[in-house]
Amino acid sequence: MPVSFRLPILITQHLPASFMPYFAAQLAVLSGRPCDVATDRLRIRPGRLIVAPGDAHLRCVTLPGSGAAIRLLHEPVANGCLPSVDPMLRSVAEVFGSRALAIMLSGMGRDGAEGAQHVRDAGGCILAQDQASSVVWGMPGAVVAAGLADAVLAPDAIGRLVAMRRRP
């Protein structure tokens, strides 16, 4: 993604809380943009990455007036993941509607498939990593099997498509 890409990026990664500051620092270096480990009420800002802490789910909420912020949730979810992609995507669909873009990358299980359905129902777009480039095709495979993916691509092709701000 070029540094000129200014839309905010929210990330849920299945990692322990103790590793998240290191992960965020790595993402900041690799992306050339600021990356925060989410805290409750953190404002979502252009040009920034926000990663879920390892011990809470991200949820987007609309702020009075304009903008959006993060709320952290700790309750269990049906798929058992903490953090889980599903609550994040569900709230992204609620807040951003048809402007939402979900990208499902390599990972185990079905986490994200339920949330992707919410993004689809809101008119958003879903991109899934292809099986050939995935270490584990569980999460993107679940989205593809459910017929929710607008495109199935290698990560570099996903990046190019997103950078152009085009839908497949």
2-28: average pLDDT: 93
Q: What pTM does this model have?
A: 0.94
> Taking all residues of the chain, what is their mean pLDDT, rounded to a whole number?
95
Report residue 64's pLDDT band, with 50, 70 and 90 as the boundaries.
very high
98-126: average pLDDT: 96
The answer to whether position 148 is within a domain reads: yes
* Pairwise CA distance, residues 57 & 113, whole Å: 16
* Residues with Cβ within 8 Å of residue 26, at least 6 apart in sequence: none
Lowest-confidence region among 74-83, 96-105, 110-119: 74-83
The answer to whether position 4 is within a domain reads: no
Please return the burial class of 142, using the count of CB atoms within 10 Å of its CB with bins 0-12, 13-18 and 19+: buried
Are the beta carbons of 114 and 104 closer than 8 angstroms?
no
The answer to whether position 1 is within a domain reads: no
Are the beta carbons of 9 and 45 closer than 8 angstroms?
no
What domain range includes position 153? 9-163
pLDDT in tens, 125-145: 999 999 999 999 999 999 999
DSSP letter string over 33-91?
S-EEE--TTPBP-TT-EEE--TTSEEEEEEPSSS-EEEEEE-S--TT--SS-HHHHHHH
Report residue 32's pLDDT band, with 50, 70 and 90 as the boundaries.
very high
CATH code for the domain of 27 = 3.40.50.180
The answer to whether position 127 is within a domain reads: yes
Are the beta carbons of 8 and 37 closer than 8 angstroms?
no
The answer to whether position 2 is within a domain reads: no
Residues facing residue 50 across a β-bridge: 10, 36
Q: What is the total count of domains within the chain?
A: 1
The answer to whether position 124 is within a domain reads: yes
The answer to whether position 110 is within a domain reads: yes
Q: What is the per-residue pLDDT for 11?
A: 98
The answer to whether position 155 is within a domain reads: yes
Joined tokens for residue 153: 């691509």
Q: What is the per-residue pLDDT for 168?
A: 82
